[in-house]
């Protein structure tokens, strides 16, 4: 099938896809166009729904970069030709772009519009039965729709060639970092949520009351027994026993294999209301939007895995012991140098567990007489660290810089409690990206405050490192702030790098001090060599290794984003990497890494914007790959998770999601948390959107006004991503 | 209404009725108010059931004025709580000094915090400089420089030689090709892989306990597991010699902590009796009580008298938290730890902590115990809930290591043989009594702790004491006659380390400590780890080498003052050379 036929087919415009935007646009106020960058898409005949009279709005810089720097050449295909188109897209991989004739990309939009036609059900002349659709989607998770050179399995890292589905994660100063007012549902929802909890608590107590009298054996661990006090407090475990257990089938689902784009689950059943589970023996492959696999480096194949294998042969599995005994390998030092380069700091130190990175380092920095000011949503490891240290701790309302400033003024002017002696030092600990909220720290404001109030700043980038910023270097990169302005940069390797452990980076003086005083250096085991190699390989491939072996042609089109790079974020010198490490070319020259960064940026922004358009309450920044969708009522939580598994729509592809509730979140704001990854393709996100849409309707989760239908959202993905304002 | 009170009172003296006193402009307002009041009343009466409510409130307040007062107070308190800021801590306490904005500004300007870290002390620099770096594979033979000569590594816990094992590598590569490296999620959210469950089952079967739970790091396991059970108001009786991770766990448990003398069962009983007496005297409700100890103590290699502790624990109704991070994989016929050594079931230990990182040479730690104990931690232990799970390959290799321990008893027997050979070499430097150590299962070594007064020396040439248990692969060597300060002692021990490395090619290390952060500062010592992977001959040679190094550096002819002077001269010469160098640089001579 030739390109021109497709083009012409696209120009006829699919009823379900491209022709719908005008209807949605007309509903938005004319003074503020919905898609400011839409005028830039003049090359595309199918997507020019902007009324010509409207003045083209100049979009933000990052939007411009994104829109200008990518070749534009794909259009939704008509639904009429869908069945052949999909079949053809397997072999017709070299689909030419419209003007310059580089045969670089195959077009993937085919399946998207194909699927959209299925969903809308009205567009195509050939109606498909549910069985046909289910058959179509049978191999959806494992079989790629496009041909690529990628050596990684499609089920681990989705193959996606379309260069339009890319974005650069960068701060646009027109967009708010953090909304002043969290979106709230109606009072009816809040009241019913409280009522649900009340009901659960009352029911729980009734069950406890009778249970303790009629089945004392089941409660033995909660009651004193022959002179031993109860091991678990009845009161403390009430929530777990009576509330959480009801949805335990949604937690700790046993899995196998790689937690990549898809995940293999063991099916299990429970006959005693989730007290125990029995595995049925069968497995289910599901789309995974739950793991912290931001850049898709969790993989059992590909360059990083090969490097890890090489390292097992060379270094073994473990180095035993702690850093100060004879367990420090040259590999540890190489990793530390690389990490320091990566985050733009002078030196760094690695620890074998992310949680322990915080909990063993903070005590080495502060002690009695110091004040730690912490965001209220900071991670448990930070709390543990401060408690270990013995320093005083104060909280401030999440991301509220005004409250923080007041608190700082009070703390400095009042000094230590009772003695009023000035604090030895004040350390503010924040997270770059909050794992339950999807919000970003307001770093520019914090840096301003730092100049005035002379505190030290500790940024926990557990989730943001790798996942945020045009170069993947975390929040500093995202906001364009020099990382050396931050005293301590902490992060983990578990998330973006598909490894394990964490790092602390800062000035050489600080790190040297930490090497001596950190609990982990003396008493905790070192990171094992294959894990270190995974870190080196994945980080190296994000940075690119200098001198680059070859400059691919594609690089030229990205000239803008390269020139916008902060000078501290250059490629890494080959001498920093271990000499024996052999990485494939696409990892060495940084193209693969950049591709991944741009894919996750697109995916995150797309899903976040799409869910908002569908009328869901979504927290957080649109650039955040963590997307919490608010559910509120606890009863719906379990159902959301179960319905995502047992999809009742035609495609039947299971999706695994994480539902979180109290105590990880405030009591009423139970939520679903999506963690997107570079490994997801646009089709995967489409599928998540459709699933949310259908379940949202069934469970009545659209607490806001829905401004677009799901098919409109899917058809307008690129515009939604480019728009600097949603709602 | 109160402000009207005086007006009304003055008007009461005049004969004119009160309403005449109301100023004209207020009349429409009052009419409006009264009509609003009436409307509200009407509306209220239309609500079904409202008369009952009114009657109830009336009667209850008339009969019980105290209750009314209490309720008003409650409402006021609720309002205050709602209106108070969330982040105000001690806020407007009685210590709060009200300051003007200008004063605060001045104070902010004056605020000069201490630097984030202090300048490193010479001792710190020394510590950092003496950390060895291994080039290439770690194991029994290592290189500390890219082209250095191979050294015999006696500084890492490699009890059964799993560190270099090819079998482990093979298992790890297979796992890598199936599971990748990281798990990308905490165990609660799709981070529970089948290999984790299998390892937990393997551990539980190996130790014969009901269940086990794995953690991603040993230090985090110990410091997080203890506070998951011991809470405020509970009682913990702990050995004075426990390791740093336990100290940290005890610290954040906020329980009441009683210490007993290291390894002294009589003292333990005394403390238990005291607690019991206190409780009887004070009464109060039954609280959880724990005994916390280590199997092989990380700080000196001593062994716990487990049967005695179990007996006491049962007698006084305590639960035992036993840290077997060192002894698991090292002690017992198959490396099951103390329970196997003493022949008691491991399930008698309520909470048993162990390490896969030390015992099985992979990574992470585990807690074994009853089902209730383990499932409690899955939701309540912070390091388990809030951290990513263990990489799959570390779990599978741990399973393979357990398999090897079960099927190859030779692993443990060769370790024991090596320990015996090594200890024999060193016994010539020890006070005589350790030459005939009690190897039967009747208890620990006779009191030879560094924390206790040394027993009379019978061996004239004795320069060291080794409190470590004769079957312990972890051996700590303490100097009998140490220099006066800790720092000097550390430097002296480092000289022994260097000497052993240079003349006999063995790599040992000083026990590294967090000076200034420990609750009880442990004495400096040399730390030696014996591996079963060495041949007897190698171990014998290493023992000899270490003995010679010890004699050379701090033997009978060792004179502390002389050593000190030499050190001083060395540092003087170094300083002068540096000065000279700078001088030359500056002057360009």
Residue B302 predicted with pLDDT over 90: yes
- ipTM of the complex in this document: 0.82
CB contact under 8 A, A513 and B172: no
Q: What would the pLDDT profile of A276-334 be if each residue is shown by its tens digit?
A: 899 998 999 999 999 999 999 988 988 999 999 999 999 999 988 899 988 999 999 99
A325 and B179 in contact by Cβ < 8 A?
no
**pLDDT at residue A226, as a whole number:** 81
| Residue B36: Cβ within 10 Å count | 10
- Provide mean pLDDT across the span B170-199: 93
Nearest by CB: A524 against B116, B219, B513: B219
According to the model, what pLDDT value does residue A589 have? 84
List chain B residues with CB under 8 Å of A319.
Answer: 134, 138, 156, 163
pLDDT more than 70, % of chain A: 79
- Say which residue the tokens 């990793």 belong to: A335
Q: Is the pLDDT of residue B532 over 90?
A: yes
Do B514 and A318 lie within an 8 Å CB cutoff?
A: no
pLDDT of residue B222: 94
Question: Do A298 and B184 count as a contact with CB atoms less than 8 A apart?
Answer: yes
B-chain residues near A252 (CB < 8 A): 187-189, 192, 378
CATH number for B353: 3.40.640.10
Contact map slice: A 433-452 vs B, CB within 8 A: 452
Q: Of A337, A315, A313, A333, give the one whose Cα is nearest residue A323.
A: A333
Q: Within this chain, do residues B201 and B315 fall inside the same structural domain, yes or no?
A: yes
Q: Which of A500, A501, A660 to mutate to test binding with chain B, by most B CBs within 10 Å of its CB? A: A500
pLDDT tens digits, residue range B110-158?
A: 899 999 998 888 888 888 889 999 999 999 999 998 888 899 999 999 9
Check whether A106 has a pLDDT greater than 80.
Answer: no
Collect all residues of chain A within an 8 Å Cβ-Cβ radius of residue B363: 318, 352, 525, 528
- Exposure string (b/e) for B155-176, b if CB count within 10 Å is 16 or more? bbbbbbbbbbbeebbebbbebb
**Quick check: helix, strand or coil at residue B321?**
strand
Nearest to B180 among A258, A408, A409 (CB): A258
Count other Cβ atoms within 10 Å, centred on residue B384. 26
Instruction: Give the B window 478-507 contacts with A, CB below 8 Å.
Output: 507
Higher pLDDT, A676 or B564: A676
CATH number at residue B152: 3.90.1150.10
Q: Taking Cα atoms as reference points, which of A324, A630, A379 lies closest to residue A492?
A: A379
B153 interfaces chain A, CB cutoff of 8 Å: yes
Name the least confident of A104-113, A247-256, B316-325: A104-113
Check whether residue B401 and residue B465 sit in a common domain: no
Length of chain B: 589
Q: Is B197 on the interface with A (CB under 8 A)?
A: yes
Residues of chain B above pLDDT 70, percent: 85
Give the residue-averaged pLDDT of B26-54. Answer: 87
pLDDT value of position A561? 43
Q: Does A76 or B190 have the greater pLDDT score?
A: B190
Pair B372, B273 in one domain = yes
Q: Do B279 and B393 lie in a common domain?
A: yes
Q: Which residues of B touch A530 (CB under 8 A)?
A: 172, 176, 181, 391, 393
Task: Give yes or no for a contact between A528 and A499, defined as CB atoms under 8 angstroms apart.
Answer: no
Residue B174: closest C-alpha in chain A: A309
What pLDDT, on the 0 to 100 scale, is given for residue A93?
36
Q: What is the DSSP letter of A286?
A: E
**Residue-level pLDDT at B369:** 95
pLDDT-derived band of residue A563, with 50, 70 and 90 as boundaries? Answer: very low
Strands (E), B456-572: 464-465, 474-479, 506-507, 509-510, 526-529
**Beta-sheet pairing, A371-375 with A392-396:** parallel
3-class secondary-structure state, position B48? coil
- Do B236 and B148 lie in one domain? The reply is no
Q: Quick one: pLDDT at residue B497?
A: 93
**Residue carrying structure tokens 């954040």:** B252
Question: B181, A266: Cβ pair inside 8 Å?
Answer: no
What percent of chain A is predicted at pLDDT more than 90? 51
Domain that holds residue B281: 181-407
Q: Quick one: pLDDT at residue A525?
A: 93
The dihedral sign for the CA sequence A92, A98, A104, A110: negative
Q: pTM for the whole thing?
A: 0.82
For residues B186 and B218, state if they share a domain: yes
**Are B177 and A519 inside 8 Å of each other by CB?**
no
List Cα–Cα distances, B345 to A248, A422, B329, B331, B352, in angstroms: 33, 55, 16, 14, 12
Q: Which fold has domain A303-583?
A: 3.40.640
Hey, where are the domains in chain A?
Answer: 303-583
Cis peptide upstream of residue B325 (ω within 30 degrees of 0): no
In a domain, B476, yes or no: yes
Q: For chain A, how many residues are written?
A: 727
Would you call A359 an interface residue with chain B, using a CB distance cutoff of 8 Å? yes
- pLDDT at residue number A104: 37
Inter-chain touch B176–A356, beta carbons under 8 Å: no
Token couple for B1: 């209404």
What is residue B234's predicted lDDT score, i.e. its pLDDT? 92
Total structural domains in chain B? Answer: 2
In this structure, the answer to whether residues B399 and B506 fall within a common structural domain is no
First to last CA, chain B: 96
Question: Buried (b) or exposed (e) across A287-303, using 16+ Cβ within 10 A?
Answer: bbbbbbbbbbbbbbbbb
Same domain, B247 and B134: no
- What mean pLDDT do residues A42-46 have? 36
- The CA distance from A506 to A458, in Å, is 10
Q: Are residues B324 and B223 in the same domain?
A: yes
Check whether residue B496 and residue B519 sit in a common domain: yes
Using omega within 30 degrees of 0 as the cis cutoff, is the peptide bond preceding A663 cis? yes
Classify residue B573: in a domain, yes or no.
no
On whether both B396 and B473 belong to a single domain, the answer is no
The answer to whether the Cβ–Cβ distance between B181 and A244 falls below 8 Å is no
Spatial CA neighbour of A289 closest among A266, A265, A260, A268: A260
CB nearest A516 (choices: B128, B162, B181): B128
How many whole angstroms separate alpha carbon B545 and alpha carbon B429? 13
Residue A182, Cβ density class (10 Å: 0-12 exposed, 13-18 middle, ≥19 buried) = middle
Across the interface, whether the CB atoms of A318 and B362 are under 8 A apart is answered: yes
Contact B472, B448 (CB under 8 A): no
Q: Is residue A317 a contact partner of residue B399, using CB atoms and an 8 Å limit?
A: no
d(CA A291, CA A375): 24
B477 in a structural domain:
yes
> Which residue among A221, A325, A376 sits closest to B155, beta carbon to beta carbon?
A325
Q: What is the pLDDT of residue B67?
A: 78
Is the pLDDT confidence value at A374 over 90? yes
pLDDT tens digit sequence for B448-477:
444 444 455 567 778 888 999 999 999 999
The residue of chain A nearest to residue B511, with distances taken between CA atoms, is A325
Q: How far is CA B213 from the centre of its chain?
A: 18
């Amino acid at each position: 099938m030739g390109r021109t036929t497709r083009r012409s087919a696209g120009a006829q415009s699919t009823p379900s896809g491209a022709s719908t935007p005008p209807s949605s646009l007309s509903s938005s106020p004319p003074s503020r166009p919905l898609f400011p960058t839409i005028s830039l898409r003049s090359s595309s005949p199918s997507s020019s729904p902007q009324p010509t009279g409207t003045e083209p709005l100049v979009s933000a810089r990052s939007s411009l970069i994104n829109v200008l720097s990518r070749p534009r050449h794909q259009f939704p295909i008509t639904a009429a030709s869908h069945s052949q188109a999909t079949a053809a897209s397997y072999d017709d991989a070299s689909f030419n772009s419209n003007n310059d004739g580089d045969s670089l990309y195959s077009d993937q939009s085919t399946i998207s519009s194909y699927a959209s036609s299925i969903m809308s059900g009205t567009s195509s002349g050939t109606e498909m039965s549910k069985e046909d659709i289910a058959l179509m989607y049978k191999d959806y998770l494992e079989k790629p729709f496009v041909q690529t050179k990628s050596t990684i399995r499609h089920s681990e890292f989705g193959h996606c060639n379309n260069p339009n589905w890319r974005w650069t994660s960068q701060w646009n100063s027109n967009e708010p970092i953090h909304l002043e007012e969290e979106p709230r549902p109606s009072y009816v929802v809040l009241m019913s949520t409280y009522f649900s909890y009340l009901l659960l608590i009352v029911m729980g107590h009734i069950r406890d009351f009778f249970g303790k009298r009629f089945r004392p054996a089941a409660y033995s661990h909660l009651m004193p027994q022959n002179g031993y006090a109860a091991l678990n407090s009845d009161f403390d475990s009430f929530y777990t026993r009576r509330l959480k257990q009801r949805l335990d089938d949604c937690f700790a689902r046993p899995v196998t294999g790689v937690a990549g784009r898809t995940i293999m689950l063991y099916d299990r059943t429970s006959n005693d209301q989730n007290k125990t589970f029995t595995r049925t023996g069968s497995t289910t492959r599901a789309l995974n939007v739950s793991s912290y696999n931001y850049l898709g480096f969790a993989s059992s194949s590909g360059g990083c895995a090969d490097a890890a294998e090489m390292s097992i042969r060379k270094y073994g599995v473990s180095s035993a012991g702690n850093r100060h005994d004879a367990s420090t390998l040259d590999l540890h030092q190489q990793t530390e140098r690389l990490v320091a380069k990566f985050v733009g700091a002078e030196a760094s130190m690695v620890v074998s567990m992310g949680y322990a990175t915080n909990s063993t380092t903070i005590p080495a920095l502060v002690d009695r007489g110091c004040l730690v000011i912490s965001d209220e949503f900071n991670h448990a490891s930070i709390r543990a660290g401060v408690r270990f240290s013995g320093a005083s701790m104060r909280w401030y309302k999440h991301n509220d810089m005004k409250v923080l400033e007041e608190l700082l003024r009070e703390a400095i002017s009042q000094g230590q409690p009772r003695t009023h002696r000035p604090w030895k030092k004040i350390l503010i600990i924040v997270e770059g990206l909050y794992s339950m909220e999807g919000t970003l720290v307001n770093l520019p404001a914090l840096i301003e405050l730092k100049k005035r109030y002379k505190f030290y700043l500790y940024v926990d980038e557990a989730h943001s490192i790798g996942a945020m910023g045009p170069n993947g270097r975390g929040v500093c990169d995202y906001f364009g702030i020099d990382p050396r302005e931050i005293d301590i940069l902490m992060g983990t390797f578990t998330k973006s790098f598909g490894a394990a452990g964490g790092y602390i980076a800062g000035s050489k003086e600080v790190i040297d001090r930490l090497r001596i005083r950190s609990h982990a250096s003396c008493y905790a085991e070192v990171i094992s060599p294959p894990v270190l190699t995974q870190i080196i390989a994945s980080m190296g491939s994000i940075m690119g290794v200098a001198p680059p072996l070859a400059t691919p042609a594609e690089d030229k089109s990205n000239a803008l984003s390269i020139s916008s790079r902060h000078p501290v974020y250059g490629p890494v010198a080959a001498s920093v990497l271990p000499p024996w490490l052999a990485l494939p070319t696409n990892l060495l020259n940084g193209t693969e890494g950049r591709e991944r960064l741009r894919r996750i940026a697109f995916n995150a922004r797309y899903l976040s914007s799409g869910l908002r358009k569908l009328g869901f309450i979504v927290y957080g920044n649109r650039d955040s790959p963590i997307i919490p969708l608010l559910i509120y009522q606890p009863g719906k939580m379990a159902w959301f998770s179960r319905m995502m598994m047992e999809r009742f729509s035609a495609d039947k592809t299971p999706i695994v999601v994480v539902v979180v509730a109290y105590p990880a979140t405030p009591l009423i704001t139970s939520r679903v948390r999506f963690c997107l990854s570079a490994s997801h393709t646009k089709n995967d996100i489409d599928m998540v959107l459709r699933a949310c849409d259908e379940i949202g309707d069934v469970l009545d989760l659209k607490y806001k006004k829905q401004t677009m239908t799901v098919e409109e959202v899917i058809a307008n993905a690129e515009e939604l991503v480019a728009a600097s304002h949603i709602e | 209404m109160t402000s009207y009170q005086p007006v009304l009172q003055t008007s009461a003296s005049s004969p004119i009725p009160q309403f005449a006193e109301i100023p004209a402009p207020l009349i429409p307002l009052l009419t409006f108010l009264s009509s609003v009041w009436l409307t509200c009343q009407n509306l209220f009466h239309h609500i079904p059931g409202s008369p009952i409510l009114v009657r109830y409130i009336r009667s209850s307040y008339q009969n019980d004025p105290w209750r009314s007062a209490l309720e008003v107070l409650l409402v006021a308190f609720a309002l205050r709580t709602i209106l108070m800021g969330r982040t105000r801590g001690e806020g407007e306490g009685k210590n709060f000094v009200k300051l003007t904005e200008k004063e605060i500004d001045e104070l902010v300007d004056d605020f000069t915090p201490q630097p984030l870290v202090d300048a490193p002390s010479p001792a710190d620099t020394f510590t950092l400089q003496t950390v060895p770096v291994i080039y290439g594979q770690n194991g029994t033979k290592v290189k500390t420089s890219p082209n250095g000569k191979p050294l015999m590594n006696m500084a890492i816990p490699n009890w059964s030689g799993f560190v270099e094992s090819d079998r482990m590598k093979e298992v790890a590569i297979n796992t890598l090709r199936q599971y990748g490296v990281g798990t990308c999620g905490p165990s609660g959210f799709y981070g529970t892989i089948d290999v984790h469950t299998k390892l937990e089952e393997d551990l539980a079967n190996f130790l014969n306990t009901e269940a086990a739970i794995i953690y991603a790091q040993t230090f985090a396991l110990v410091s997080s597991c203890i506070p998951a059970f011991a809470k405020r108001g509970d009682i913990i009786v702990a050995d004075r010699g426990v390791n740093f991770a336990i100290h940290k766990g005890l610290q954040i448990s906020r329980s009441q902590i009683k210490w007993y003398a290291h390894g002294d069962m009589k003292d333990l009983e005394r403390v238990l009796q005291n607690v019991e007496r206190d409780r009887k005297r004070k009464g109060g409700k039954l609280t959880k009580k724990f005994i916390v100890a280590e199997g092989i103590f990380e700080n000196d290699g001593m062994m716990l008298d487990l049967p005695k502790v179990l007996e006491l624990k049962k007698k006084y109704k305590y639960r035992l938290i036993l840290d077997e991070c060192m002894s698991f994989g090292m002690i017992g016929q198959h490396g099951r730890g103390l329970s196997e050594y003493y022949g008691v079931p491991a399930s008698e230990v309520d909470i048993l902590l162990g390490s896969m990182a030390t015992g099985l040479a992979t990574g992470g730690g585990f807690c074994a115990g009853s089902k209730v104990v383990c499932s409690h931690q899955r939701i309540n232990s912070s390091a388990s809930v809030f951290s990513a799970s263990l990489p799959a390959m570390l779990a599978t290799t741990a399973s393979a290591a357990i398999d090897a321990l079960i099927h190859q008893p030779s692993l443990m027997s060769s370790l024991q043989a090596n320990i015996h050979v090594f200890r024999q070499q060193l016994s010539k430097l020890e006070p005589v009594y350790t030459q005939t150590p009690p190897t039967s299962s009747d208890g620990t070594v006779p009191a030879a702790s560094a924390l206790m007064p040394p027993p009379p020396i019978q061996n004239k040439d004795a320069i060291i004491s080794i409190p470590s248990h004769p079957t312990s692969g972890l051996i700590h060597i303490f100097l009998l006659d140490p220099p006066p300060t800790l720092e000097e002692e550390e430097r002296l021990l480092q000289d022994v380390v260097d000497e052993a490395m240079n003349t006999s090619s063995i790599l040992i290390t000083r026990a590294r400590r967090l000076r200034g952060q420990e609750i009880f500062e442990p004495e400096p010592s040399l730390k030696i780890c014996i591996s079963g992977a060495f041949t007897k001959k190698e171990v014998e040679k290493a023992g000899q080498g270490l003995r010679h190094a010890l004699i050379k550096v701090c033997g009978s002819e060792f004179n502390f003052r002389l050593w000190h002077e030499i050190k001083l001269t060395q540092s003087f010469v170094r300083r002068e050379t540096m000065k000279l160098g700078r001088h030359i640089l500056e002057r360009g001579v």
